[in-house]
Chain A
Amino acid sequence: MATSGPGATNLVTGIATAMMDSSPMVCITGQVPTSAIGGDAIQETDILGITMPITKHGYLVQDVKELASTLHEAFHIARSGRPGPVIVDLPKDVQLATTDYDSSASLPGASKSLADNLSPTELEKAVELLKGSSRPVILAGRGALLAGAETELATLVQRCQIPVALTLLGKGAFPEGHPLCLGMMGMHGHGATNLAIQNADLLIALGMRFDDRVTGDLATFAQSSRKIHIDLDAAEIGKNVAVDVGLVGDLREVLQRLLPSLPAANRAPWVTQIRTWQEEDTERDVLHQDTGSDLLAVHVLHDLWQATDGKAVTVTDVGQHQMWEAQYYPHTRPGTLITSGGLGTMGFALPAAIGAKMASPQEEVWAIAGDGGFQMTMSELASAVQERVELKIAVINNGFLGMVRQWQELFYGERYYATPMLTPSFVKLAQAFDIPAFRVTRRGEVRPVVELARQWTGGPVLVEFAVKQLDLVYPMVPAGGSLDAMIRRPQVTAEMV
């Protein structure tokens, strides 16, 4: 809820973030009185027009008699079908007017739903492709979580022995740690995962949209595979990648229709091949290398995962730490990673984590941000204190806008511009809000300080991790590059330590 003019425009980035990630949201904004609309009155802004491309729908309520039905409809639309943000703009005179509330208000525009276009022929084609595949890979995205299809997905994986790769927003749809879970795919996905996709003979895309960060170069993406795409949104089928079978419908229902036709299968040779690639990844993993006294962000995220037994809700910001979290904090439950995927909104973590903790007070919630993103919305520390939100905040401080610096190093001739950051003392900053705060500079301090933070009650607590400044996220598929042409982490040598 925001006031008119600048209050409303300050919502724009959040609304666009929700639109890109299919998050249900209803925004109620103030507006000048109906008689003043169009007259450039103080704080008049056409927020309906501004947000039109980044909302699922929007309303300007001009008569209080329409208010009840509009709000009912707005919440219905935000949550139904492919979820998304809806804006309701309320002129001041409508806010002050009175009306009789009709709890049985109809939903005149709410009957519209995406058609269930399931064709028996297409279902049969999907079954045949699955039966005939010896090297299949499932690509599971946020749609799997939105559909609540985790059980059906697990049945499909287990029965048909199909490895599962996850998009960033699909993490949690299938438990990482399961032998058939390959973790994150794409630009900073695991090497073995990307190799599995590139060498598959069948991709089964479930509630994902073949984002450029997932596919790399479309011309070389999984060329030897047939493709099945299941999504609620018909406009996603064939949008980026041509598919052999497109099934439009609720993922859970589609899988329920498919499963009875799918017999158990054994794909041991394929799984063994992937396991070999995974072992190569493990050998390269910096966690298993001697990095001397350096505290790497990877250490922090791995140790945080261990300390929380992998059970925390993590809310990440955007940048290097976001990718490291995705690589080193395996999630086993739906809804335990909240992050900005599509829009890549820096500044997301702190306010979103406050919301996550308030919505799920029983969960241990960690906001994980870099020093750059944290400074974009750190004023929300006041909200966390004021509302006594028991939030744990980890600031991964490397003194740079690290991901941009990484691109400048790798792809722009090391011409560093606007990426070194002057950062404040995050400990002193937190203390100014009466937030207990700690600074960690060594690997051995990570676990004890995390434990201290976990035990703190009564409000937020902050831990700053001063990590090695110039580390890069590996592997990395250069933008527009082929998914299997990854830049790998160099082996650490004695000279480097």
Chain B
Amino acid sequence: MNTFHTLVVYLDSRLASVERVVLLLRRKNFRVRSLALHPAGRAAAETQLVVAVEGPPQEAARLRTNLEKLLDVRRVVSQASHADARCLALVRVESGAAEPGFVRLCQEPGVRVFQQEETSTTLEITGTDGHLDAWLPRLAPFGITEISRTGAISLTAEPGPSAALGS
């Protein structure tokens, strides 16, 4: 049975290091759900790429062993559960701020009004991939005009460079 797998990849911030990972995903025929890229910590030398792929249970191990062959990859952390990852979506709807049903939706956990304008409302929603997917049909009656979503991001169980940020 296919499921989502999330891996956090720590890369040297060198020329073409991200390209190499992306090319590997294509070349080895992984089904990519999302990618999220950001600096891994204060040191500019490291980049964190969170990769979510869909596939059978052994897919995470296959991805990990292939990633570990890339010279720019410092380490790879497999997340035990895709449910530990979070995504963010910005959803603009045509109106609805005054409608009671819409107001109730905006009060649910993980949702807040990000921007209120005369003819539209933008909501900020956080949650798992599936959580975000479930939200969209609920907002459809209010007239969705634009959606922007991030890929999954995830903290790793192992202490890494990011964990030292506050010290």
Contacts and interface: CB of A to CB of B under 8 A. Distances in A.
B146 interface: no
Interface stretch (B15-23, B99-107, B121-129): B15-23
Contact of A235 (B12, B20, B66): B66
- Sort chain B's interface into a size bin: 10 to 19
A233 B15 CA distance: 25
A330 to B, nearest CB: 34
A172 interface: no
Interface string B45-75: 0000000000000100010011011011000
Given A52-B23, A53-B27, A234 B68 contact: yes
B23 A235 contact: no
Contacts of B68: 114-115, 234-235
Contacts of A237: 65
Contact of B71 (A48, A49, A56, A62): A56
Contacts of B66: 235
A141 interface: no
Interface residues of A, number: 22
Interface string B2-22: 000000000010011001100
A6 interface: no
Nearest to A237: B65
Contacts of A53: 23, 27
A196 interface: no
A52 B12 contact: no
A235 B16 contact: no
A235 B23 CA distance: 16
B158 to A, nearest CB: 16
A57 interface: yes
B16 A77 contact: no
A58 interface: yes
A75 B68 CA distance: 20
B16 A49 contact: yes
Interface string A356-393: 00000000000000000000000000000000000000
Given A48-B16, A49-B16, A235 B71 contact: no
Contact of B65 (A82, A112, A235): A235
A238 interface: yes
A403 interface: no
A59 B20 CA distance: 12
Contact of B15 (A60, A234, A238, A239): A60
A234 B65 contact: yes
Nearest to A62: B15
A174 to B, nearest CB: 28
A60 B68 CA distance: 22
B71 A109 contact: yes
A60 B72 CA distance: 14
A49 B23 CA distance: 10
Nearest to B12: A109
A57 B58 CA distance: 26
Contact of A52 (B20, B62, B65, B69): B20
Nearest to A52: B23
A313 to B, nearest CB: 31
Nearest to A61: B15
Contacts of B65: 234-235, 237
Nearest to A48: B16
A238 to B, nearest CB: 7
A73 B47 CA distance: 21
Contacts of A114: 68-69
B19 A49 contact: yes
A112 B72 CA distance: 9
Interface string A236-256: 011100000000000000000
A59 B14 CA distance: 10
Contact of A57 (B19, B27, B62, B71): B71
A152 B12 CA distance: 38
Contacts of A238: 58, 62
A77 B20 CA distance: 16
B62 A58 contact: no
Contacts of B72: 109
Given A53-B27, A109-B12, A235 B19 contact: no
Interface in A54-111: 56-60, 62, 77, 82, 109
A58 B12 contact: no
A59 B62 CA distance: 26
A53 B68 CA distance: 15
Most B Cβ at <10 Å: residue of A53, A56, A114, A235: A235
Nearest to B22: A52
A45 to B, nearest CB: 15
Contacts of A112: 71
A305 B26 CA distance: 44
Interface of B: 12, 15-16, 19-20, 23, 27, 58, 62, 65-66, 68-69, 71-72
Given A62-B15, A114-B69, 8 more contacts: A52-B16, A52-B23, A60-B16, A77-B71, A82-B69, A112-B71, A235-B62, A238-B58
25 contacts: A48-B15, A48-B16, A49-B16, A52-B16, A52-B23, A53-B23, A53-B27, A57-B71, A58-B16, A59-B15, A62-B15, A109-B12, A109-B71, A112-B71, A114-B68, A233-B69, A234-B65, A234-B68, A235-B62, A235-B66, A235-B69, A237-B65, A238-B58, A238-B62, A239-B62
